[in-house]
Chains A and B, each alone.
Chain A
Amino acid sequence: MNVWLTQHALALKLVLRRFANNKLSTLLICLAIGVTLALPSIFYAVLDSANVLANNVKSKSQMSVFLATNHDENAIETVKTTLEDDANIKSFKFVSKEDALSQLQAADTDNGVLNSLENNPLPDAFFVEPSKLDAESIENLKNNLSKLDGVDEVVVDGAWIKRLNYLLALGKKTMLIIVSLLAFALVAVIGNTVRMQIVTQYAEVELSRLIGATKSFIRRPFLYAGALYGLIGGLFALLITVAVIYLFNQSLAPLVAEYQTNFSLNYPNLFTCAITCLLALAVGLISAYLAVSKSLFSSIH
């Protein structure tokens, strides 16, 4: 156990010394890996933020049923029971005209305009969330609801959300494809770097074999090198991502202010950071392993 630990510490120290001896090239390689990883990472941040936005909107109703202002007393109850019985409706909320007015007054900034009204011009309304979100069901539901007594107008306000969802799904697929393609690029970059190191360290590798080093002893520093390249590259990627998001958000702020929301790109959370670094480390390790098993022992018996 102790020997095992020393051997690992030794390999790590050796790799760090090699890195320190070749600071510039190490930095460049790690930057290359960082940039490669930053692309999907930024893409993910955009998707993630858009997803949060879409989910927020989704939780709001997608269909508004406005009753006529002059409906009779029972209309509200009838519509309510109909909505309760309809299997196509996931949930609904009733907002009376009085509630609507007071909400509007609360949100109103130009005091007095609403107070000056003699009558409440707002209708009673139901906000309905359909259980099925495809175009046909929503259209059917809309028609059915319009025919009810006392219903003035049915407004579908969720069509664009559907499109957003489709776009998000497309975006996720694109990201997966980009990630897998870039993973190949990473394997090539790290694999080649490690192969170069093997060539540079050939004298040491050969000597170690001759004087009784096990294969794993020889392999270990190269695996550490690959894993470290990945890990440092992953950290660079996070730095780049955070910087890009910061710049984006600065330019995004005035734009979204126009829409009166406070949408901004989310910074990667701890989990995302950990996953990014772990993935980078794993890719580094795997590429190093491939490179090592391909070229390390081929010429030594």
Chain B
Amino acid sequence: MITFDNVTKRYPGSHEALTNVSFSIEQGEMVYVTGHSGAGKSTLLKLMAAIERPTSGTVLINNQNVSKLKESTLPFIRRKFGLVFQDHKLLYDRNCYHNVALPLAINGITGAEAGKRIRAALDKVGLLSKEKAMPITLSGGEQQRLAIARAVVSRPSILIADEPTGNLDRNYAEDILQLFNAFQQVGVTVIIATHDALGNVSDHNKILHLNRAQLTKAEIIA
């Protein structure tokens, strides 16, 4: 589903953010990307989601080589992903409902069909009653769940979350991870970046551990 082959990413005027990274992720896997801050986790996620292109090496998403794709086709690749950003990136000028509506609008889905899907997504994260609330009035955990609702509303086959439990206390973090597990159960590939110790990582998870831009461990914990 996602294959990295000798991928290196260097930002202009900076050191290599990723060096010779190779791995592959199959459909329906639950993958943790771990490592210290600055180890290259966010870069790795951006390359996976076709937001960035590799400096060298190949990134294959559904057997399409991201480096070879035209700029104008990248948006359509990106729509296959549901993204949960480190800083949420919620839009504070509109209510929860309209925040979740944005990815659907981008996909050209509006009206009753959109309404159904938006409410289903909000329901899944337990925010159905806050449909009309403005994001600024939500708690940290609720904002995170709203961001997840927005990520899953267009039913992506891959869900990518960057530090989704970063600023949350333990209980909230558990809730969020439960949510991701639930998505994985129904066949969604889930990729989560975290700098946390892997205390709450359960069985059958793949871990990509980054250390100073290099992949040091890519194995399945049995």
Contacts and interface: CB of A to CB of B under 8 A. Distances in A.
A3 B108 contact: yes
A216 B220 CA distance: 42
B51 interface: yes
B133 interface: no
Given A210-B89, A211-B78, A6 B110 contact: yes
A215 B75 CA distance: 9
A210 B89 CA distance: 10
Nearest to B77: A212
Contacts of B75: 209, 212-215, 217
Given A10-B105, A214-B75, A207 B91 contact: yes
A212 B80 CA distance: 9
A212 B89 contact: no
A224 to B, nearest CB: 14
A86 interface: no
B16 interface: no
Interface string B55-93: 000000000000000001001111101010100010111
A208 interface: yes
Contacts of A210: 49, 51, 78, 83, 85, 89
Contacts of B102: 204, 207-208, 211
Question: How many A residues touch the partner, as a band?
Answer: 10 to 19
A206 interface: yes
B106 interface: yes
A211 B103 contact: yes
A215 B102 CA distance: 15
A211 B105 contact: no
A301 interface: yes
A7 interface: yes
A10 B110 contact: yes
A106 interface: no
A26 B93 CA distance: 18
B21 to A, nearest CB: 20
A107 interface: no
B29 interface: no
A9 B109 CA distance: 12
Interface string A1-20: 00100110110000000000
A217 B110 CA distance: 14
Given A3-B108, A213-B106, A207 B89 contact: yes
B131 interface: no
A214 B92 CA distance: 22
Nearest to A13: B110
Nearest to A2: B108
A10 B52 CA distance: 28
Contacts of B85: 210
Contact of B79 (A7, A203, A206, A211): A211
Interface in B132-180: none
Contacts of A301: 52
B13 to A, nearest CB: 15
Nearest to A21: B93
Interface in B28-53: 49, 51-52
Interface string B86-127: 000101110000000011011110110000000000000000
Contacts of B78: 210-212
9 contacts: A203-B91, A206-B89, A207-B91, A210-B49, A211-B83, A211-B102, A212-B81, A213-B106, A214-B75
Given A6-B110, A203-B91, A204-B93, 4 more contacts: A203-B92, A212-B81, A212-B107, A215-B75
5 closest Cβ pairs, A-B complex = A212-B78, A212-B79, A3-B108, A213-B106, A212-B75
Interface of B: 49, 51-52, 72, 75-79, 81, 83, 85, 89, 91-93, 102-103, 105-108, 110-111
